[in-house]
Amino acid sequence: MDYIRLSDANIITQKYMDSILIESRYIDSVKADISIEFCGDDFDTPVMTPAFSHLGHYKDRKLNGLEEYSIAAKECNALNFCGMMENDEFKKIMDTGAKTVRIVKPYADNGKVKDQMQYAESVGAFGIGMDIDHIFGANGYDVVVGEDMAGQTMEMLASYVKMTKLPFVVKGVLSVSDAVKCAKLGAAAVIVSHHHGRVPYAIPPMMILPKIREALKGSGVKIIVDCGIASGADVFKALALGADAAAVGRSMMPWLEKEGTEGVKKFINEVNSELRFIMSSTGSAKVGEIDGSVLHFTG
């Protein structure tokens, strides 16, 4: 789907991100530990991969881009995400050994939604979820790669939660209202995102994030944020504003296209290194100890 002003939200998001500054707190600080616990498992980083779909084979390499970045996630012990694909393609992702959350599109064919979620659980997915910000398109309900999408009610989403033992993740949350509904229906996590600016002038995820964090306090719902995350500093800001983790997306793509798995590993390790440096320089010994008061807003 292409809107003429598709880039507006991304420009606004970048400007907002750049308006957040970080103060240093060196005395009594120690080398930071960036490992996290997430939905019952341990990971070496709060940096997560994006729920990409339909990535082909770059430079005629044997594996497609989805498989390549999944292997990188496994080797970096980072939580992996993938998006729209058929079951046989998802099986290839699972064969990489990466701990993966499958984000299913809101298909009009509700039987397909349930089939893909159940299949993901049967082959050992870490979690399942739904991409709610692809419900609507320019002419009504969205059509994605020839597939009709449909509206999703609280009852429908709650039924997906009930049919699985896996953590359920809702992607595309960009309001306190949706976040609270996700908590009520039993979601384990939400991804705060505007999906690369699908709605013109969408609020930056980082701007709404503190309000969502406050609304979800005590609920146990984990918060991931994406859109515009390109560095360790960006991840730090997300964590300081209330996220439990952050997903890198388009910033990862040049590394993936050029060097495949090794490129993505280099990228994630660079982001991790900068995150560790900033945490150490702000008195943040662990991810859960990051103090949001180190942030200052110039906007």
Q: Does 237 score more than 90 pLDDT? A: yes
Residue 4 confidence (pLDDT): 40
Segment 106-131 mean pLDDT: 98
Residue 215 confidence (pLDDT): 98
Q: Does 70 score more than 70 pLDDT? A: yes
DSSP the chain: ---TTTTHHHHHHHHHHHTEEE----TT----B--EEETTEEES-SEE---------GGG-SS-HHHHHHHHHHHTT--EEE-S--HHHHHHHHTTT--EEEEE--BS-HHHHHHHHHHHHHTT-SEEEEEGGGSEETTEE-EETTEEB----HHHHHHHHHT-SS-EEEEEE-SHHHHHHHHHHT-SEEEE--TTTSSTTPPPHHHHHHHHHHHTTTT--EEEE-SS--SHHHHHHHHHTT-SEEE--GGGHHHHHHHHHHHHHHHHHHHHHHHHHHHHHTT--BGGG--GGGEEE--
Share the mean pLDDT of the chain: 96
For 8-18+39-284, the fitting CATH number among 3.20.20.70, 3.40.50.620, 3.40.50.720, 3.40.50.300 is: 3.20.20.70
Segment 139-147 mean pLDDT: 94
Q: Does 146 score more than 90 pLDDT? A: yes
Segment 194-222 mean pLDDT: 95
Contacts of residue 65, defined as CB under 8 A and 6 or more positions apart, other chains included, come to 52, 55, 56, 57, 58, 256, 257, 260
Q: What is the pLDDT of residues 23-59, one digit of tens each?
A: 999 999 999 999 999 999 999 999 999 999 999 999 9
Q: Does 208 score more than 50 pLDDT? A: yes
Segment 110-138 mean pLDDT: 96
Residue 138 — very low, low, confident or very high, per pLDDT cuts 50/70/90?
Answer: confident
Q: Does 3 score more than 60 pLDDT? A: no
Residue 2 — very low, low, confident or very high, per pLDDT cuts 50/70/90?
Answer: very low
Please give the share of the chain, as a percent, with pLDDT higher than 90. Answer: 94
Residue 197 — very low, low, confident or very high, per pLDDT cuts 50/70/90?
Answer: confident
Q: Does 222 score more than 50 pLDDT? A: yes
pTM over 0.85: yes
Separation CA 4–CA 10 (nearest Å): 13
Q: What is the pLDDT of residues 170-182, one digit of tens each?
A: 999 999 999 999 9
170: its two tokens: 């809702």
Residue 299 — very low, low, confident or very high, per pLDDT cuts 50/70/90?
Answer: confident
Residue 7 confidence (pLDDT): 65
Query: What are the backbone angles phi and psi of residue 133, rounded to the nearest 5°?
Result: -85, 10
Residue 272 confidence (pLDDT): 98
Separation CA 162–CA 168 (nearest Å): 10
Residue with tokens 């306190």: 176
Q: Does 166 score more than 80 pLDDT? A: yes
Residue 5 — very low, low, confident or very high, per pLDDT cuts 50/70/90?
Answer: low
